[in-house]
Chain A
Amino acid sequence: EDQVTQSPEALRLQEGESSSLNCSYTVSGLRGLFWYRQDPGKGPEFLFTLYSAGEEKEKERLKATLTKKESFLHITAPKPEDSATYLCAVQANNFNKFYFGSGTKLNVKP
């Protein structure tokens, strides 16, 4: 069964304290893996799409990496404005839909 698991459920960091969020997946043929940021009461905001193992993408303090079984979202020297829930989703080759994880809620304290 296709599945996406994100860990940890919640993460508290001090400003400037780098860390990583994990997205583990099992899917029958990965078409793409997607990272989103969601602020409370708002729709998810697209961050990255990764298509193949070894691929990396960066945006400001965020860097996403992909292996055959998991993806990491690395946050370098986070700031309080990086506080949000980060969602991971995968799409299988033979299906039209995305499978979403339940998210990691990140809180960065000043």
Chain B
Amino acid sequence: DGGITQSPKYLFRKEGQNVTLSCEQNLNHDAMYWYRQDPGQGLRLIYYSQIVNDFQKGDIAEGYSVSREKKESFPLTVTSAQKNPTAFYLCAVGRFQETQYFGPGTRLLVL
């Protein structure tokens, strides 16, 4: 953290609802990433963006969508198509192909 903010800290989703997780950075890094963390598993990449107005799918993109309209912001939408959304979501930033720095995370729970 220290320049990477994620909000909210906790998010509750109802059945069939889309929810959006925010990630903002003031480190002036081009690359931004979204990961999902489940207990006992390594971090899994959902989406990443190397530059404004461009993003790529990661390993588990189904049921998620992103946008990158500004360098500072990379919001993640968890759609109703994601059937098992309960997890800890982490945003990371960095210079492309170099060390990634993580935000504080958002915990998503299903009601």
CB distance from A21 to the nearest CB of B (A): 15
Interface-forming stretch among A38-46, A60-68, A71-79?
A: A38-46
Query: How many interface residues does chain A have, given as a range?
Result: 20 to 34
Q: Kindly state the separation between the CA atoms of A47 and B41 in the bound complex, as whole angstroms.
A: 20
Task: Tell me whether A44 and B102 are in contact in the complex, defined as CB-CB below 8 angstroms, given that A91-B97, A97-B45, A102-B41 are known contacts.
Answer: yes
Task: Tell me whether A96 and B105 are in contact in the complex, defined as CB-CB below 8 angstroms, given that A43-B1, A102-B41 are known contacts.
Answer: no
| A-B contact list, 7 entries, CB within 8 Å | A32-B98, A45-B102, A49-B99, A97-B45, A100-B35, A102-B42, A103-B42
Binding site for A on B (CB under 8 A): 1, 4, 6, 35, 40-45, 48, 50, 56, 58-59, 88, 90, 96-105, 107
Binding site for B on A (CB under 8 A): 4, 31-32, 34, 36, 41-46, 49, 87, 89, 91, 96-103
